[in-house]
Amino acid sequence: MTSMLRRLACLLVVVGVFVGRQVDPLVSAPLRHGDDVVLAVDFHVHSFPGDGSVPPWDLAVEAQRRGLDAIALTNHNHRLQWMVTQAMPFQPGGALLIPGEELTSVGYHMAVAGTARNVAWRQPAADAAARVHDEGGVAIAAHPAGEQTTGFDDRALDAVDGVEVAHPLIYDLKYGRRDLAQFYARAKARRPSIAAIGSTDYHFFAPVGFCRTFVFARERSVAAILDAVRRGATVACDATGNTYGPADLSASVADACRAAAGAPPMTPSWTDSAAMWLTWCGLLALVLLGARETMA
Partner 1 sequence: MLRRPALVAVVLGCAVAMTGTRHVTPLLVVSTTACWSTLIVVQIAIALAMFAKPASRTVGVARALDLFFASHVPWSLWMLAVVAWAPLPGSRPLTPVLVAALVPMALTPRMIAAFCREVLRMDRHEAIARTTMHQVLTWGALVTAFGWAVALWPRIVQGLQ
Which spans in 176-295 are helix H? 176-190, 222-231, 247-261, 270-295
Q: Which stretch binds partner 1 (CB under 8 A): 100-108, 111-119, 219-227, 245-253?
A: 100-108
Q: Report if residue 25 touches partner 1, rule: CB under 8 A.
A: no
Q: CA-CA distance, 61 to 212, in Å (whole number)? A: 16
Could you tell me which residues come within 8 angstroms of residue 224 by beta carbon, excluding any fewer than 6 positions away? 217, 218
Q: Which stretch binds partner 1 (CB under 8 A): 132-140, 165-173, 227-235, 242-250?
A: 165-173
When binding is defined by CB under 8 A, the residue of 24, 51, 134, 154 that contacts partner 1 is 51
CB closer to partner 1, 227 vs 272: 272
Query: By C-alpha distance, which of 202, 96, 185, 113 is closest to 149?
Result: 185
CB closer to partner 1, 107 vs 241: 107
Q: Report if residue 153 touches partner 1, rule: CB under 8 A.
A: no
CB closer to partner 1, 177 vs 188: 177
Do 79 and 230 form a contact (C-beta atoms < 8 A)? no
Which x/- pattern, by CB under 8 A, does the window 199-228 give for partner 1? -x---xxxxx-x------------------
Phi, psi of 279 (to 5 degrees): -60, -45
Q: Report if residue 198 touches partner 1, rule: CB under 8 A.
A: no
When binding is defined by CB under 8 A, the residue of 7, 18, 190, 223 that contacts partner 1 is 18
Q: Which stretch binds partner 1 (CB under 8 A): 33-41, 72-80, 184-192, 245-253?
A: 72-80
When binding is defined by CB under 8 A, the residue of 26, 33, 53, 153 that contacts partner 1 is 53
Question: In the chain, count of helices (H) and strands (E)?
Answer: 10, 11
Write out the E strands in 120-183: 138-141, 162-166
Provide the minimum distance between the beta carbon of 139 and partner 1 in the complex, in angstroms, as a whole number.
Answer: 17
Cα distances (Å, whole numbers) of residue 21 to 9, 27, 243: 19, 15, 33
Q: CA-CA distance, 138 to 176, in Å (whole number)? A: 24
Q: Report if residue 142 touches partner 1, rule: CB under 8 A.
A: no
Which x/- pattern, by CB under 8 A, does the window 106-125 give for partner 1? xx-------------x----
The pairing of strands 243-244 and 138-141 is: unpaired
Q: Report if residue 104 touches partner 1, rule: CB under 8 A.
A: yes
Do 163 and 141 form a contact (C-beta atoms < 8 A)? yes
Provide the minimum distance between the beta carbon of 146 and partner 1 in the complex, in angstroms, as a whole number.
Answer: 11
When binding is defined by CB under 8 A, the residue of 26, 27, 31, 77 that contacts partner 1 is 77
Provide the minimum distance between the beta carbon of 107 and partner 1 in the complex, in angstroms, as a whole number.
Answer: 7
Q: CA-CA distance, 252 to 247, in Å (whole number)? A: 9
Provide the minimum distance between the beta carbon of 191 and partner 1 in the complex, in angstroms, as a whole number.
Answer: 26
Cα distances (Å, whole numbers) of residue 222 to 120, 176, 269: 23, 30, 31
- What angle (nearest 5°) sits at the alpha carbon of residue 73, between those of residues 68 and 76? 140
Q: Which residues bind partner 1 (CB under 8 A)?
A: 13, 16-18, 20-21, 23, 48-51, 53-55, 57-58, 61-62, 65, 75-78, 104-107, 121, 147, 168, 171-172, 200, 204-208, 210, 239, 264-266, 268, 272, 275-276, 279-280, 283-284, 286-287, 290-291, 294
